[in-house]
Amino acid sequence: MADTQVQTMTGAEALVSTLADHGVTACFANPGTSEMHLVTALDREPRIRSVLGLFEGVATGAADGHARVTGGPAMTLLHLGAGFMNGGANIHNAKRAWTPMINVIGDHAVPHLRYDAPLTSNIMGLAGPNSNWIKSADTVASTGELAAEAWEASFGPVPGPVSLLLPADSAWTEGGKSGKKRARPSLRAPDAARIEAAAKQVKSAKKPVILVNGTCLTKDGLAHAGRLSAAGIRVLTDTFFPRQARGAGTFIPERMQYFAEAAMADLEGADLMLVAGTQVPVAFFSYPGKPSVLVPEGCTPYIIGGPETDSAAILAALADALGAKAAAGVAPRDEHAMPSGDLNAMTVGMSLSRHMPEGTFVSDDGVSNGLPCFLMTQRALPHDWMMLTGGAIGQGMPLALGAAIAAPDRKVLCLTGDGAGMYTNQALWSMARENANVVNVVFVNHSYRILNIELARTGAGNPGPTAKSMLELGQPEIDWVKLSEAQGVPAVNATTAEEFDKALERAFASDGPHLIAAHVPAR
């Protein structure tokens, strides 16, 4: 450094500048009194863009979306234990997406903690279970070093959210020092012996399948997946995954069925299940008399590498070991005709395939309406599809916000159910504030439709009026256009396939956020 003058820094400044030194470029924040010095430290750090959320679940979901686009962690700024809990569901989701994320949680000054002030809580206890790493910077001298350690820890071995607590006195005191620069950790290289063993098993299997996730779902990874497919191995992705490259020119893997009995029927006869970049598949929920592990009898699961491994490299090495050639057919572009008539998830998907610009990032929290859209866009222009992996609905709009901040030159499409969208509807305001290029499609069916399906599947009996009412959102009907406009995002209703198609085309053609309330029947 040219500047040898000794600079004094507060702990907050040491933390923030150390994260910036490591390449962190965004902070999604909902600050309170105990974080005021972090706010002014962010003010002085031009390398980090600060984005305000009106609710912490917006901040943590956006940090997840930002990281899925950039590959590195974003920072969040949360207000004590209560702020952590408000952001907790989307931290859970991020953990299940193996997303690196640095949650900076403000705390009371250390000498103040013993007095049990109203906002005091056991943050270590609350945040510990969903943090892959958690420490508290209880001295100002530790702030920079722990920031560097947190950044490194967010990469794994399995990437995920980490928590760094910052007591207010560590934040405000002078004497902060930059943390030592760390090298960026990589995912593990594949284990050669396991690949050899897998290749051997494939050769003696009648119906081998491989379940893939992680870097398998990059454009490169899918090219190798196509080679395995050409060599006779059925390629399936997890039902939900953090991000998949797709569209014209990309190999199309199959996707594991959501419902356990459908998944088991689909896998019938498979005698080998290789696993790359994920775990042996399990049912999302348990049901009376239905299996938990989704591996049919007579089928041997074999994990070549879990989520800590660069699974694209597994596919490449396995394809080489099997002497597999390049895949024959990859998906050509297939533009659906303009749909007409009743609006439903299928016609929405057709319009998406027509109008999604190349490079679109999709944030899919569409619940019961997600799958038809997914299927109809297999041969759209090349794009990336991001899903809710942790099951805590309400992630869609925050994730889209974060992706849009990370990729301002790309379009982001958010698919969300109306039930899901209400959880963190405050994300709309941040989209308006940041002029984020997000087209929000809300599937309005005035129902927790998935729960109506699940009610029957769980055998919970014939629903009476109370049970039915607990799954209906129609009394009163939520006016999504007003809800969106109230927060500064222009919005329209669409009730036919034609209306939706035109609204979508217009939304993609203009800058900034938009919302389309897609009125689809609940059936």
Tokens matching residue 231 = 């060599």
Exposure string for 180-204, b = 16+ CB within 10 A, e = fewer: eeeeeeebbebeeebbeebbeebee
Q: Give yes or no for residue 54 binding a second copy (CB under 8 A).
A: yes
Residues 108-147: x where in contact with a second copy by CB under 8 A, - otherwise, as a string: xx-xx--xxxxx-xx--xx-xxx-----------------
Q: How far is CA 262 from CA 275, 391, 406, in A?
A: 20, 19, 37
User: Of 76, 237, 89, nearest to 154 (Cα)?
Assistant: 76
Q: How far is CA 455 from CA 109, 283, 286, 353, 416, in A?
A: 48, 16, 13, 32, 21
Nearer to a second copy, 244 or 389 (CB): 389
Q: Give yes or no for residue 450 binding a second copy (CB under 8 A).
A: yes
- Minimum distance between the CB of residue 232 and a second copy, rounded to whole angstroms? 29
Specify the residue for token string 């038809």: 372
Q: Give yes or no for residue 37 binding a second copy (CB under 8 A).
A: yes
Q: How far apart are CA 225 and CA 215, in angstroms?
A: 11
Q: Would you say 271 and 204 are in contact if contact means Cβ atoms under 8 Å apart? A: no
Q: Give yes or no for residue 36 binding a second copy (CB under 8 A).
A: yes
Q: Give yes or no for residue 256 binding a second copy (CB under 8 A).
A: no
Exposure string for 363-380, b = 16+ CB within 10 A, e = fewer: bbbbbbbbbbbbebbbbb
Q: Give yes or no for residue 81 binding a second copy (CB under 8 A).
A: yes
Considering only 485, 496, 498, 499, the residue that binds a second copy (CB under 8 A) is 485
- Minimum distance between the CB of residue 388 and a second copy, rounded to whole angstroms? 9
Q: Give yes or no for residue 341 binding a second copy (CB under 8 A).
A: no
- Minimum distance between the CB of residue 247 and a second copy, rounded to whole angstroms? 26
Nearer to a second copy, 93 or 377 (CB): 93
Q: Give yes or no for residue 461 binding a second copy (CB under 8 A).
A: yes
Q: How far apart are CA 341 and CA 285, in angstroms?
A: 36
Q: Give yes or no for residue 286 binding a second copy (CB under 8 A).
A: yes
Q: Give yes or no for residue 514 binding a second copy (CB under 8 A).
A: no
Nearer to a second copy, 32 or 357 (CB): 32
Considering only 25, 52, 261, 303, the residue that binds a second copy (CB under 8 A) is 52
Nearer to a second copy, 96 or 234 (CB): 96
Q: Give yes or no for residue 163 binding a second copy (CB under 8 A).
A: no
Candidate ranges 215-223, 372-380, 439-447, 478-486; the one touching a second copy (CB under 8 A): 478-486
Candidate ranges 68-76, 193-201, 203-211, 449-457; the one touching a second copy (CB under 8 A): 449-457
Candidate ranges 202-210, 302-310, 476-484, 499-507; the one touching a second copy (CB under 8 A): 476-484
Q: Give yes or no for residue 455 binding a second copy (CB under 8 A).
A: yes
Pairing state between β 49-52 and 74-79 = unpaired
- Minimum distance between the CB of residue 89 and a second copy, rounded to whole angstroms? 4
Question: H/E element holding 301?
Answer: strand 300-305
Q: Give yes or no for residue 7 binding a second copy (CB under 8 A).
A: no
User: Strands, E, within 321-392: which ranges?
Assistant: 361-365, 383-387
Nearer to a second copy, 43 or 505 (CB): 43
Considering only 134, 471, 492, 516, the residue that binds a second copy (CB under 8 A) is 471
Instruction: Please count the residues of the chain.
Output: 523
Q: Give yes or no for residue 88 binding a second copy (CB under 8 A).
A: yes
Q: Listing from the earlier edge strand, what are the strands of the sheet with 491-494?
A: 244-246, 383-387, 361-365, 412-417, 438-444, 514-519, 491-494
Residue 344, burial from CB neighbour count under 10 angstroms (0-12, 13-18, 19+): buried
Q: Give yes or no for residue 416 binding a second copy (CB under 8 A).
A: no
Q: Would you say 66 and 436 are in contact if contact means Cβ atoms under 8 Å apart? A: no
> Please, what is the angle between helix 311-321 and helix 192-204, to 10°?
50
- Minimum distance between the CB of residue 239 and a second copy, rounded to whole angstroms? 9
Footprint of a second copy on residues 172-231 (CB under 8 A)? Answer: 172
Exposure string for 401-425, b = 16+ CB within 10 A, e = fewer: bbbbbbbeebbbbbbbbbbbbbbbb
Nearer to a second copy, 78 or 352 (CB): 78
Candidate ranges 204-212, 310-318, 368-376, 383-391; the one touching a second copy (CB under 8 A): 383-391
Candidate ranges 61-69, 179-187, 210-218, 280-288; the one touching a second copy (CB under 8 A): 280-288
What DSSP assignment string belongs to 220-277? HHHHHHHHHHHTT-EEEE-SS-S-EEESTTS---EE--SSHHHHHHHHTT--EEEEES
Nearer to a second copy, 130 or 347 (CB): 130
Nearer to a second copy, 99 or 229 (CB): 99
Specify the residue for token string 């920079």: 144
Residues 292-321: x where in contact with a second copy by CB under 8 A, - otherwise, as a string: xx----------------------------
Residue 251, burial from CB neighbour count under 10 angstroms (0-12, 13-18, 19+): buried
